[in-house]
Structure 1
Amino acid sequence: MSRRCELTGIAVQTGNLVSHSNIKTKTRFLPNLCNVTLISDALQRSVRLRIAAAALRSVEHRGGLDAFLLKARDSELSQGALTLKRQIIKKQAEAKAA
């Protein structure tokens, strides 16, 4: 399982820890990933995702999982999240047609 947020694409970053004596040591900065269950209003079901804590705040700020996915770029989303986005779009189109 990769260390990448499924919604925002936040991944591992590399850099240096710099001491007081200016000695540089390579390090990896890992994202704060959480396993969460979010509820999709359009699909009427819950979805398990591995997302960053910052992404969870963004989802709540935008008004839920459906609103976040509809506004997000396809290049940022994982395959699972992209599938969810397509299902939500399809469900909304059916609701408008009916």
Structure 2
Amino acid sequence: MAKLVALYKKPADKAAFDSHYFSKHIPIARKIPGLRGYEVSSGPVGTPAGESSFHLVALLSFDSLEAIQQGMASPEGAATAADLANFAQAGVDLLIFDTKEV
């Protein structure tokens, strides 16, 4: 299993971000080939010391790093990436990695 983690920084207008993210971005992203699971944070995103600079965290699951790369290179992946400019003006950090049970 591999993950793509999107760490969305706190936007100036949280309500506008949430409206676009949940009504438009998620339906676009769900069409990425190879996507096996899609989870998002619920409530404030913090650190053990308190607040963080992040508004929302998304965890997308794929079978492998290759599947992430293929999915993101597809027209659906390109549409998902292009949509970031419509709501994530504060910035987003994207991380990809393999996972294993320990």
Shared fold by TM > 0.5? no
Larger Rg: 1
TM-score by length of 1: 0.27
